[in-house]
Structure formats: C-alpha cells, structure tokens
Amino acid sequence: MASTTTGTNGSYQFTGVIPGTYTVRLGTTTGYYLTQQDVGSDDTIDSDFDPTMRTVTLALTSGHNVSDVDAGLYTLATVQGKAWVDADTNGIRSPSEQSLAGVQVTLLTADGTAVEGTTTDSSGNYSFSAVAPGSYYLQFEGPISQVYLLTAQDQGGDDTADSDVDSSGLTASFTLSAGQTKSHVDAGLYMGSILP
C-alpha cells in the first residue's frame, strides 16, 4: 500500500505501479466534502471519487499512464437569521422590538423537499450550519402557543432590518455557494387574533 499527499497546486501521483486493479482512497479532509461523481462527459474536469466510499477503482495495464483521477471537494454553507415581534407592523425591525423565540424554521430545497428544521432560540436566532451548496428557501411558522401573523416583506432599504418572508411564511429562493454564510434571512411577526 502506498500513500501520498497533494502538493500546493492540488496534484498528486503514484509512480512505478505494476499492472493490476487498484483502489485509490481519499483520506480525511476536515471541513471538506466530496462533490458528485462523474458529472458531465469530460473526464478531465470531473470528480472521479465516490463521495460515500471516498474511493475510485482503476485497472492498470503495462505502460499505462492514468491521469485526471481527480477529487472535487467543497465546504458547507450556513444560513442564519432572526425572528422578532414587529410591534408597529411596519416590516422593519427597530432596536426596541423584542426577539421572538419558538418560531419554527424549515430549510427546503428549490423543489420543496424539507432538508432540516429548527426553532428560534431565546434571542430569536436560528442557524443551519451544515448546508451543501445549492438552491433553497425557508418556511417560517409562528409559535403555536399564540396566534402570530407575518408582517410585510422587504420593507425599507436595509436588508439587515427587514422581514424576508411573504404572507404564507416563505422566503424567496436563494443559492448558496461552498463556504458561504447567508445572514439576515429574517422574519417579522405580530400578534394576531382568531376571528369568530
């Protein structure tokens, strides 16, 4: 068994290998995850390793030089934000308005598949910190102990202080790149009442 590490430009090689069938295994890459295998038709630019097994199998014949046995890796992304009580219902969070705990937040893929759920903490904050790159949206639901309505979406010119949720509790879709932190995906809610 032979092992090596990639150089500063990410390349590696094994030399003097006799003919036979071999498995190349990618070692631990803390904070990095293997991307999809064999995507597209150009083998010189795709990732060849199985992302679950972290391996690729090669059959070598005499004089055979195999290149482009590559591994594409990515880091996870983060989505975070806050829910607050929009007391004046203007869709803009002011310093005097209180945070809202217990709001249910669900992360969904662009096709509507739920990925993960959480609730806002005592400071009104939530976070999804291990999200693969891709397109997503969020769904917010107020605490079930009270009747809350959603305030107006995208009011004012400061995205760090507005509510990003429409009247049905959904945000617009957004795309996350590897390692990105998307902050201030927020929801403003106010106390409602049940009509007789």
Domains of the chain, first to last: 19-74 (no CATH), 77-191 (2.60.40.10)
Q: 77-85 and 187-191: which strand pairing? A: parallel
CA dist 55 and 118 (Å) reads: 34
Owner of token pair 């806050």: 82
Closest residue by Cα to residue 112 from 173, 42, 180, 55: 173
Contact (CB, 8 A) for 151 and 189: yes
Average pLDDT along the chain = 92
Average pLDDT over residues 110-117: 96
Per residue in 137-155, pLDDT tens?
A: 999 998 866 789 999 999 9
Cβ neighbours of residue 149 closer than 8 Å, sequence gap 6 or more: 142, 189, 190, 191, 192
CB 34: neighbour CB atoms within 10 A? 18
pLDDT of residue 105: 98
pLDDT of residue 196: 41
Contact (CB, 8 A) for 186 and 126: no
- 184, pLDDT greater than 50: yes
Per residue in 34-75, pLDDT tens?
A: 989 999 999 899 999 999 999 999 999 988 888 899 999 999
pLDDT of residue 193: 59
pLDDT of residue 145: 63
- 81, pLDDT greater than 90: yes
What does the block give as tokens for 62? 């005499």
As beta bridge partners, residue 107 has 116, 138
Cβ neighbours of residue 79 closer than 8 Å, sequence gap 6 or more: 107, 127, 128, 131, 136, 138, 176, 182, 185
Per residue in 10-32, pLDDT tens?
A: 999 998 899 999 999 999 888 89
pLDDT of residue 28: 82
CB 35: neighbour CB atoms within 10 A? 17
Average pLDDT over residues 113-138: 96
Contact (CB, 8 A) for 129 and 183: no
- 99, pLDDT greater than 80: yes
